[in-house]
Structure 1
Amino acid sequence: MFGFFKKKKTLKELIPQNFIDIHSHLLYGLDDGSKSLQETKSLIADLNSFGFTQFITTPHTTPLVWENTKDQILDRYEKVRTELNMSESELRVASEYLIDDSFLKRLENEKLLTLKDNYVLIEMSYINPPIQLYEIIMELNSQGYQPVLAHPERYNFYKNDYDSFKRLKNAGCLFQMNMLSSTNYYGSGITAIADYLLKENMYDFAGSDVHHQKHINAFNAEIKLKNIDTFEALLIKNSFFKQ
């Protein structure tokens, strides 16, 4: 009887030691993430206190919004790493690429910044998927990239459309869950979708997607998932990116 009222663990309590984060916006001044070196330093310190020890930070590359070039991202990364005296294993850099109608042209003209080897983090618009979605995934695969779709649970156009998730997986897309989706941070509906994808073992990795202090504070929230054991196992899968 008393087990029914047992307090659920918070997100920060479930994070394994030496956790490797593969999705964040810690490089200041590039997008809607950190705004200053001091904020970057503070965010990293807070994440370190939760058990994070390595970061592959992923500033947005979003046409017409955050027009970050590869050189701009790499320059800011080297500046931050030097200023914070972090090793290349502690802080690495990739990008979170918005896949839209212009993405195929980008693929033709530049080598993408990857999480590791050929693993590239991609996202879609929250309004609708690109018309050429499956053509883009096919082209990424044909060029040797392994697409990792960021936070599939957050695309509301796939709500209750679970066949689309399966089709994406069958097309060769890996899934990265946002850790805060476990806490109702984005809403209970998003958490419910994340729970379904966990139950179906469709996630491959997890990421913090930390932008600011509000995200950090949310790590103190209780887990709202039914499939907590699967979520904990998912966090351990990030060890694939250990350096």
Structure 2
Amino acid sequence: MFNIFNKNRNNTLEWLQVDMHSHILPGIDDGCKTVEDSLNLLSRLSALGLDTFYFTPHIFQDMYPNTPESIARAFGYLQGTEAQPLLAGYAAEYMVDGHFDHRLDKEEQPLATLPGNHVLIEMSYIQESKSIEKNIFDLQIKGYQPILAHPERYVFYHENPKAIERFKDLGCLLQLNVLSVFGYYGSREKKTAKYLLDRGLIDFVGTDAHHERHIHMLERGLKKEDIKPLFKKCTIKNQSLLHCST
């Protein structure tokens, strides 16, 4: 069933190669529930041209109080399986809230990072974090490179997408969900994604895959459209993670 060489004959994501944002690790957040689920998603994403995966479960104290240790255990469930050649590592998607402020202030332990000390952060979809700029600054002071996850999905930017540009001025990188360009999350998310792509503001692209429905929509979308040209104004850094020191 699992064949990393069974590439889809339609438009693919081979140009991306690396998926740096997903919720495929089993039994740890709102993503895959079992190892079997994880292997199914990885097999289908591999068929779409992705061959390297960094996994980023939520760390959100009120809902998913994960730790680097619990994420490492979930990652271990996939090691030694037929998916082994695809497994590059794990990090986390941190919710920027009061718990995150406390974590940074106390410096209890290093954050779970992507290569190069990149840290994936997110906010509530409905209200901008009042401390987001401070969090970005604090991360940088501590030697981290923040990446804001899926800015196109925050509803408070839909009427003023230009507000997102300030994150680049602050030195924060931006990650787009590939499903946004297909309109999966809605027309406003698609419009905001186009705004960011047209201005060359996107640095990373992720599937943000949680479950089979996400993969199905990717497969269906890629049958209809080659999306690579949409990213031509952006310098996508996914593959650069392979050359970063950890």
Report the TM-score range of the alignment, normalised by the length of the smaller protein: 0.7 to 0.9
Cα distance in 2, alignment partners of residues 29 and 95 from structure 1: 14
Residues 113-154 of structure 1 show CA distances to partners (whole Å, capped at 9, x for unaligned) of 111121111111112122211111110010011001110000
Cα distance in 2, alignment partners of residues 197 and 178 from structure 1: 12
Q: 2:120 matched to which residue of 1?
A: 121
SS in 2 for 1:117: helix
Gaps of 5+ in 2: 1-7
Within the candidate set 90, 98, 101, 2:98 is matched to 101
Residues 180-205 of structure 1 show CA distances to partners (whole Å, capped at 9, x for unaligned) of 00101001111000000001111001
Cα distance in 2, alignment partners of residues 211 and 235 from structure 1: 26
Q: CA deviation at 1:104?
A: 2.0
Q: CA deviation at 1:242?
A: 2.4
Distance 1:76 1:45, change over 3 A: same
User: With structure 1 as the length reference, what TM-score do the two structures score?
Assistant: 0.88
Contact 1:33 1:212 in 2 (8 A): yes
Matched length: 232
Q: 2:135 matched to which residue of 1?
A: 136
Q: CA deviation at 1:233?
A: 6.6
Contact 1:18 1:54 in 2 (8 A): no
Gaps of 5+ in 1: 1-9
Distance 1:45 1:153, change over 3 A: same
Q: Kindly provide the amino acid, as one letter, of the partner of residue 202 in structure 1.
A: L
Root-mean-square deviation (CA), in Å? Answer: 2.4
Distance 1:75 1:39, change over 3 A: same
SS in 2 for 1:102: helix
Report % sequence identity. 37
Contact 1:18 1:53 in 2 (8 A): no
Residues 3-26 of structure 1 show CA distances to partners (whole Å, capped at 9, x for unaligned) of xxxxxxx9x714125711000011
Q: 1:16 matched to which residue of 2?
A: 14
Q: CA deviation at 1:228?
A: 5.7
User: With structure 2 as the length reference, what TM-score do the two structures score?
Assistant: 0.87
Which shifted more, 106-115 or 214-223? 214-223
Distance 1:162 1:220, change over 3 A: same
Q: 2:170 matched to which residue of 1?
A: 171
Cα distance in 1, alignment partners of residues 188 and 164 from structure 2: 16
Q: 1:241 matched to which residue of 2?
A: 241
Q: 1:7 matched to which residue of 2?
A: none
